[in-house]
Amino acid sequence: MEIEKEAITSLDVARRAGVSQSAVSRAFTPGASIAADKRERIIAAAEELGYRPNPLARSLLRGRSNIVGVGVGYLTNPFFTQTLQLLSDALDGAGLRLMLFPAQGSTRPEPSIHEILHYRIDALVLLSVSPSSTLTEQCRRAQVPVIHYNRTTPAQDASCVVGDNETGARAIAAHLLAGRHRRFAFMAGTADSSTNAQREAGFTEYLAERGAPAPIREDGAFDFDTAMAATRRLLLRKDRPEAIFCANDTMALAAITVARHEFGLDVGREISIAGYDDVPMAAWPGFSLTSYSQPAAFMVAETLRLILSLRTDADRHEQVVAQGSLVVRGSTRPVGA
């Protein structure tokens, strides 16, 4: 064991391998022109010394840090958790670092985003965070591509990766309609969310097209507790809805819980409840929630592709819309019943 050693630098490796310091740099740069045998000798010397190029110094010079900033609002939603896990693995596999920061899910400009931007990050990924124009503007100026995940921007002036919410919501509507329900309800997520808006539009429009009555609306804010309260209000109505479509699974799980445990309803027979996202819990026998599956793995893969492609030109932007699929389980009345 060596005694208390300061970090080894490329110069140490250079001396050891008997070459110039810049040769060491080249040995660690994929496209650089250097003799194969010399490179091997340098790599060998580096291994012995336990050397790795200092990413900080490298970033300072290159103007890019190999770091991707990831902003996330509420980690409590399993859909985001799953996404974060996938994204974490994907970035790691691509040799990119993931810098996580809390984005509160709100519109107001977050100071942390500001700070993150100074790390000369390769890209900024926002998971279900409502877009803010000031943030978008700042990133544009800093030449940092922004990728909205699970959100679209009003002006479509930024890149995003989203599911086809309208189609999904229409599929849910069609399924509920096929179950011969009359009174429908929609439990909304947060109002400023494009995701919620699209799901609501798809659901409402499909019902209207088929001549069904407009759904009752309650606000569940994408949150379990809020959704429980909203469900109570729905189920206490004289014209109690027969089918509830919740804008995400978290709220649907809350609705099932309240319907079953507080109102003693047989979910799937006396009332139908459907969600969106198809989180792992939806498949648990205790819930058996009908939902619309978002292809998380595909969406994350697309996000990575965008990161790699946009870091060369941040001004370009691209919208990716992923197709999902309806997953019918026991929480909705069977078709034709």
d(CA 53, CA 323): 42
Q: How far is CA 54 from the centre of its chain?
A: 30
Q: Specify the residue, 124 or 207, whose C-beta has the smaller distance to a copy of itself.
A: 124
Q: Specify the residue, 34 or 99, whose C-beta has the smaller distance to a copy of itself.
A: 99
How many other CB atoms are there within 10 angstroms of residue 72's CB atom? Answer: 23
| Binding-site partner at residue 38 among a copy of itself, DNA, none, CB < 5 to 8 Å by type | DNA
| Binding-site partner at residue 21 among DNA, a copy of itself, none, CB < 5 to 8 Å by type | DNA
Q: Where are the alpha helices (DSSP H) in the chain?
A: 10-17, 21-27, 36-49, 55-62, 78-93, 111-117, 133-141, 165-178, 194-209, 224-236, 249-261, 296-310
Q: Specify the residue, 59 or 288, whose C-beta has the smaller distance to DNA.
A: 59
| Binding-site partner at residue 29 among DNA, a copy of itself, none, CB < 5 to 8 Å by type | DNA
At residue 200, φ and ψ (nearest 5 deg) are -65, -45
d(CA 169, CA 175): 10
Q: How far is the CB of 60 from DNA (least distance, A)?
A: 4
d(CA 282, CA 256): 11
Q: How far is the CB of 174 from a copy of itself (least distance, A)?
A: 28
- Per CB under 8 A, residues contacting a copy of itself are 5, 7, 52-57, 59-60, 65, 67, 70, 74-76, 78, 81-82, 84-85, 88-89, 92, 95, 97-102, 112, 114-116, 118-120, 141-142, 224, 253, 256-258, 260-262, 280, 284-287
- Name the token pair of 314: 């941040």
| Binding-site partner at residue 101 among DNA, a copy of itself, none, CB < 5 to 8 Å by type | a copy of itself
Q: Specify the residue, 23 or 306, whose C-beta has the smaller distance to DNA.
A: 23
Q: How far is the CB of 5 from DNA (least distance, A)?
A: 11
